[in-house]
Amino acid sequence: MAEDNFTNVMEFILLGFSDLPHIQGFLFGIFLVIYLSILIGNGLLIFITITNPVLQTPMYFFLGNFSFLEICYTSVTLPRMLADLSSQQRTISFIGCAVQALFLYILGVAECLLLAVMAYDRYVAICKPLYYPLIMNRRVCIQLVVASWMIGIPVLIVEIYVIFSLNFCGPNKINHIFCDAPPLLRLACGNLYKVKISVQVAALMFIISPFLLILTSYVKIITTILKLPSTSGRSKAFSTCSSHVMVVCLFYGSGSTVYLGQKANQSAGLDKALALFYTAVTPLFNPLIYSLRNKDVIAALRKLLPKSLRSLNKETNK
C-alpha cells in the first residue's frame, strides 16, 4: 500500500522552448549573456559592499546578501536551461527535478524575507534614526539574514515531499522551463484539492506575509518623510528607498501572479514568460537599479575603473 502513494515516473522532460526549434541558438546566446551579466553585476555589488569602507552599513550588508541570493537563485535554473538549449536532451531525473524545485523555493522564500528585512532596515533608519545604530547592530543584522535563509526550509521540504509523493500517471512532459509546482500538478492524478490548498497556503505565508510587512514599513516611512520640514531631506529619504521599492515591485509582481493568480486556462507561454521575469530579468536589473540610483554605489564602482575611464567620466559629467 505504501508503494501506491509514490509515482512510477523515473524522469521528466522539460519542454522549455522546444516549440521554437529555429531559434534555439539565438535563445542560448541571449540567456548566456543574461546569466553572465547577472553573475558580473551582482558579483560587483557583493565585492564593493565587502571591500569599500563607505558601504559598511546595514543597508549595504543586506544588499550584498541579496545580490548573493540572486546569483544562487538564477544558478538553480539558468545553467540547466542553457544545457537544454545546447544539447536538446531536456530530460531531468525525478530526484533532480525535486532538488531543483526545493532549492528554487528555498532561495525564492529567502529573497521575499530578505526584501522585508531591507524594508524594516529603511523604516528604522528613517523613522527611528537616533535608535538606528542600537537596533540594527551587527549581531541583529546577521540574525535577520540567517533567519531569512532558514525560516522557510522545514515547511518547503514538507511541501516538496507532498508534491513529489503524488501519482504521476499521465505524460511526463513538463511544459515549463524548470521544475515548478503549477506545471507538475497538471501531470498528477487523483484528488489534488488538498495539495493545491497547501501550495496556496505556503505561497500566502511566504509571499503575502513579507509583502504586508514591506507595505506597512513603507506606509510608516512615507508618513514620516512627508513630515520632514526640509525639501532636500525628503528627497534624500525618498531616494534611499526608491531602489528597494522598484526591486520589490519587479519581484513580487511576477512571482505573485504565478503562485497566487494561477488560472486553470492560463497559457504555458505566459507561465514561462513570468517565470523568466522573476528568475532572470529581476536579478539582471537588481545591480543596475541599485547602482544607477545610489551615489555611494556609483562612487565605489568608479574606484574600480581604470584611471583613464575615471577621468573620462569626470569630463563627461562636466
Q: Does residue 81 belong to any structural domain of this protein?
A: yes
Whichever domain contains 220, its CATH number is 1.20.1070.10
CA distances from 136 to 53, 122, 141, 221, 259 (A): 18, 10, 6, 16, 32
Question: CA-CA distance, 30 to 8, in Å (whole number)?
Answer: 36
Q: Is the residue at 296 inside a domain?
A: yes
Label residue 6 by pLDDT band (50, 70, 90): very low
Q: What is the mean pLDDT of residues 216-227?
A: 87
Residue 303 has what pLDDT?
77
Whole-number pLDDT of residue 110: 93
Query: Containing H/E element for 93?
Result: strand 91-93
Measured CA to CA in angstroms, residue 269 lies from 69, 106, 121 at distances of: 26, 25, 38
The rounded distance, in Å, linking the Cα atoms of 117 and 147 is 10
pLDDT, tens digit, 9 for 90 and up, residues 293-314: 677 788 887 777 664 455 545 5
Q: Residue 20 sits in which domain range?
A: 8-308
In a domain, 317, yes or no: no
Q: How many CA atoms lie within 13 A of 204 on its CB side?
A: 6
What's the total number of domains in the chain? 1
Which own/partner pairs from 207-215 qualify as long-range (CB within 8 Å, at least 24 positions apart)? 207/112, 207/252, 207/255, 207/256, 207/259, 207/260, 208/256, 208/260, 210/112, 210/113, 210/115, 210/116, 211/112, 211/116, 211/248, 211/252, 211/256, 213/116, 213/119, 213/120, 214/115, 214/116, 214/119, 214/248
Mean pLDDT of the region 176-186: 87
Q: CA angle 242-110-168, nearest 5°?
A: 125
Q: Measure the CA–CA gap between 12 and 93, rounded to whole angstroms.
A: 6
**Half-sphere CA count of 148, side-chain side, radius 13 A:** 24
Tens digit of pLDDT for each residue in 222-272?
Answer: 888 888 777 766 776 677 677 778 888 877 776 666 666 555 555 667 778
Residue 169's pLDDT is what?
75
pTM: 0.84
88 falls within a domain:
yes
CA–CA distance from 155 to each of 59, 111, 191, 199 (Å)?
28, 16, 22, 10
253-267 pLDDT tens trace: 766 666 665 555 556
pLDDT at residue 308, rounded to an integer: 41
Taking 80 as the threshold, does the pLDDT of residue 190 lie above it? Answer: no
Structure confidence by residue, pLDDT tens digits, 53-108? 888 899 899 999 999 999 999 999 999 999 888 887 788 899 999 999 999 999 99
Q: Does residue 313 form part of some domain?
A: no
CA distance 318 to 33: 33
Show the cell assigned to 244. Answer: 528597494
Lowest-confidence pick of 40-44, 191-195, 272-276, 300-304: 300-304
Q: Among 34-43, 142-151, 168-177, 288-297, which stretch is predicted with the lowest mean pLDDT?
A: 288-297
Neighbours of 235 (CB within 10 A): 11
* Of residues 111, 107, 126, 120, the one with CA closest to residue 214: 120
